Amino acid sequence: PHWTARLGGEADETVGVDTPDGFYAVGQFYRDFPQTPDDEVIACLDRSRAARDPVVRDEDVRIPVGGATLAGRLAVPEGAAGLVLFAHGSGSSRHSPRNRTVAAELNRAGLGTLLFDLLSEAEAADRAHVFDTPLLAGRLAGATEQLAGWPGVAGLPLGYFGASTGAAAALWAAGDPASPVAAVVSRG
């Protein structure tokens, strides 16, 4: 069957040129169709990525908060309109593919992101800490305070993106009357 029939309802939209019968490869229609060297392909992909990637600051960070040093990843596009701090849920981390995907989309939309762990590795091993909402909220609020003095992000409007226990921590921290947070998105 035709490729569009094979895709069925799997894709939201398909776009393609008509494929003539007997078509096997573009090269069959050229007298001279040499293979493109790998280094040339890589150079083209690198140029494309650089043109698409709005992030001008992308670095691992360490945030001292409440007697712990929290590991994170800060990404800030040029002319960022704000900064979103991620508060992940139990069983997740700053390395979560889901959170990294959301962060990349926010970066493309002109928002900076801070993916970070609310607990140190040693603390995360103790399940009681994972569900300690006041502790997690305190860490999130402490990290928010730290950001106020960081070059390139100081003064940006702040928001929280929380999931699961991280959502509870985000709502708790943002509920403090002194909190500078302008928005909270909670998932799960």
pLDDT tens for the chain, 188 residues: list them: 566 676 766 777 777 666 677 777 778 878 888 888 899 888 888 776 655 556 678 899 999 998 899 999 999 998 999 999 999 877 677 878 888 999 999 999 999 999 998 988 888 888 888 888 999 999 999 999 998 888 889 999 999 999 888 999 999 999 999 999 999 998 86
Helix (H) or strand (E) holding 86: strand 82-87
Write down the pLDDT at residue 60: 93
Write down the pLDDT at residue 177: 92
Q: Is 54-187 CATH 3.40.50.10090?
A: no
The 10 Å CB-count burial string (b at 16+, else e) for 20-46 is eeeeeeeeeeeeeeeeeeeeeeeeeee
Write down the pLDDT at residue 130: 82
Write down the pLDDT at residue 54: 62
Q: Six-digit token pair at 71?
A: 């590991």
Write down the pLDDT at residue 95: 75
For the chain, the domains span 3-51, 54-187
